[in-house]
Chains A and B, each alone.
Chain A
Amino acid sequence: MSDTLSTAPASAPLTKWRPTGLFFIAAPILLIAVFLFYPALRSIWGTIYVRQPDGSYAFSIASYLYFFSDSYSLTNLGRTFWTTIVTMVLLIAINLPIAIYLRFKGGRLAVFIQVLALFPMFVPGIVIVYALIRYLGPNGLLQTLLEVVGIGGFQSPYLTPWGPVIGMVWDAMPFTLLVLTAGMSGIATSAIEAAQDVGAGRLRILFSIILPQIKNSLLVVTSLNFLGLFGQAFMPFMLGPTSPEMMGPFMLRTFSTVRDPLQAATQATIVFALCSVAGLAYVRSIAKRRAAELVK
């Protein structure tokens, strides 16, 4: 792709200075700057330029040193990574086959499956959480059904690390599927037919034609899901174990119950730094696609 870029004709007209365009985006950018960037920067600044016991302010990274030397905080960070990665892997594993199915099969069944997969988008999280507790919880519907067909020994995922994973997979499924199906629709049927004509098997088509073409969609899904899952507070709060906590509930608790705004801001800054890696991957993939589109 970089070859095509360097050999492309200069796209001067597109990058020309256009004040009207800037005018249109000025309002949202101003809103973002005032309501997001400014408070966020203030709070990050507040974690390194700290009020001292005598009332003066000085540079200090003590709160960061505390976080990285506190085994409790580090365990929570580790649990957050575990939950995020397991959830992301499950999301791709579940949604990729559905997206492939929807791309190649039409008809009523496909429409039904798509509606079913997008359904979680229209159900509020709190409803899901309580429904999941009733369904998956101890002595819940699932356990009863399993016992009816003679399967005993069901261990409920409620209040275990798998509780929030299940809740978050449900919650993030529609978004994941939407992006993947959008990526799939860009694959030309002719390319696949051509591969079939020269004798490529199904797996070969998957790995050599489909996956390379939806690489961008996978990257977008992975990075955006990472951002969403890493900071999740609600699902782990309601479905997860008491400890280790995920960073979301941990930050909330540090802020509101422990009443330690400095440490909470430090935790938030660390989460922000980790998430910006995913954000950067997303922005890069978008920028790359833009550049490719400009060339076309």
Chain B
Amino acid sequence: MVMKRREFLKGTAAVGLGSVAAGLMGKSALAAEGTLDIFFNSDTNVVEFWSSAIKPAFEAANPGTTLNLVSGGGGASMNALAERAFAALQSGTDPQIDMMEAIGPYHPEGAIEAGLWDDFSKLSLSNMSKVNPAVVDNQWSLPYRGSQVVMMYNGDKVPTPPKTFEELVAWIKANPGQFAYARPDLGDSGACFIERALQEVMGRDESLFTNENYSDEYAEPMFTKLWALLNDLAPSLYKGGEYTGGNTPSIQLLASGVITMTIAWSDMALVAMNEGVVPETTAVAQLQDLAFIGGYSSVLVPTNAANHEMSLKLADFLISPEVQNKVVSDLGGFPSINWSEMSPELQAKFANVATTSIPTFPGPWESHLFDGWYRNVASNLAQG
């Protein structure tokens, strides 16, 4: 790929320095004993949560162990890290990765078959029995926190938010230019919106979409209906069909008062409201007929991790009631273990949420869905 000159210079300089440093330091380039290198795909609020809630407790319980929390720098960089782990597995070297957060096990291709990721269904973690089976997407991903997509809106202009997807569509059309959602590949909030729309055109039947059943022939008629709905909606969106470049830009547009409603992650919306970056009248609401898709963020443990045993211990700690209670109280997330395992106060406080399940959407569908969206929905932009 062609890079910007400045980046190119920086890159080559880094490569040069890196190889020199590796040569000088020899062995120290390997992962340090007792240091777990954990890479995050989630935003900084999650990394902060780890460093304030998980790291101190785990390090205190396991003397000599240090958690090295590293922001992975987005999906493409996380994929590159997964490729590194896979390459290390094939060459039998140290991947210098002990755990990866919030990515799926499907990249790189062939990694699952080669046994790159630990299969949690075959391990006997002491807390595994507490995990709510409904939130387990696949046996390699260990879910540890959930969050959900919500409608985020200006309460001044919208006294009663839409309760169903149909009402939402009616509201968007009645208020042209006042609604925006993010491009599906740049912010999962936008992805969740079009996935919810897909469920809507298919009669809200979640069982139609599974990790295994994607094929072009099967999806084609569904996608055709979806494109029709989204294209019908486009002229009523912000700027007659423009899409924001991610979760934060969506909230930014709402904050500047250009739009009245957008789609956002519950935890990011709550943080924005707490920090006062959006007007005080901002509110969030959830659809009542079928909730917006949420997701569980999971961790993956590479089987070739240098501190493999300790990584599994940490994984077990993540799904302990101790951490799960903090996920709810400190992070504004949902627990991945059964509510009956949670603290009684939290159980009482979240009684309403506890009963609703969070719909999820299978990852293998997304690459086809997103590319189709670019080709069939985004390419019809009025301004060309």
Contact = CB atoms under 8 A, between A and B. Distances in A.
A244 B379 contact: yes
A258 interface: yes
Interface in A135-185: 137-140, 159-161, 175
A35 B12 contact: yes
Interface stretch (A94-102, A192-200, A227-235): A227-235
A interface: dominant SS:
helix
Interface of B: 1-6, 12, 15-16, 19, 75-76, 79, 107, 183, 185-186, 239, 242-245, 249, 252-253, 256-258, 366-367, 370-371, 374-375, 378-379, 381, 383-384
Nearest to A267: B1
Contacts of A36: 12
Question: Which of A227, A230, A238, A242 has the most chain B CB within a 10 Å cutoff?
Answer: A242
A68 interface: no
Contacts of A46: none
A230 B2 contact: yes
Closest 5 CB pairs between A and B? Answer: A231-B2, A243-B378, A257-B185, A138-B258, A242-B378
Interface stretch (A106-114, A211-219, A247-255): A247-255
Question: Which of B76, B374, B378 has the most chain A CB within a 10 Å cutoff?
Answer: B374
A231 B381 contact: no
Nearest to B366: A257
A75 interface: yes
A268 B1 contact: yes
B379 A159 contact: no
Contacts of A227: 2, 5
Contact of A72 (B2, B16, B375, B381): B375
25 contacts: A31-B12, A32-B12, A72-B374, A133-B252, A138-B258, A139-B256, A159-B242, A175-B5, A227-B5, A228-B4, A228-B6, A237-B245, A242-B242, A242-B243, A248-B1, A251-B1, A255-B76, A257-B75, A257-B371, A258-B367, A268-B1, A271-B1, A271-B2, A272-B2, A275-B2
Contacts of B242: 159, 241-242
Given A72-B379, A237-B245, A253 B2 contact: no
A128 interface: no
B29 to A, nearest CB: 17
Contacts of B5: 175, 224, 227-228
Contact of A138 (B76, B107, B253, B378): B253
Question: Which of B245, B252, B379 has the most chain A CB within a 10 Å cutoff?
Answer: B245
A259 interface: yes
A190 interface: no
Given A133-B249, A257-B367, 6 more contacts: A137-B252, A231-B2, A238-B245, A241-B383, A242-B381, A268-B1
Contacts of B186: 237
A251 B19 CA distance: 28
A15 interface: no
Interface residues on A, range: 35 or more
Contact of B15 (A35, A228, A256): A35
A139 B253 CA distance: 9
A31 B15 contact: yes
A240 to B, nearest CB: 8
A137 B256 CA distance: 9
Nearest to A32: B12
A138 B19 CA distance: 46
A234 B16 CA distance: 24
B2 A160 contact: no
B7 to A, nearest CB: 9
A175 B9 CA distance: 14
A232 B4 contact: yes
Contact of A256 (B12, B79, B257): B79
Contacts of B76: 252, 255-256
Contacts of A230: 2
Interface in A63-77: 72, 75
A251 B107 CA distance: 18
A231 B1 contact: yes
Contacts of A245: 374
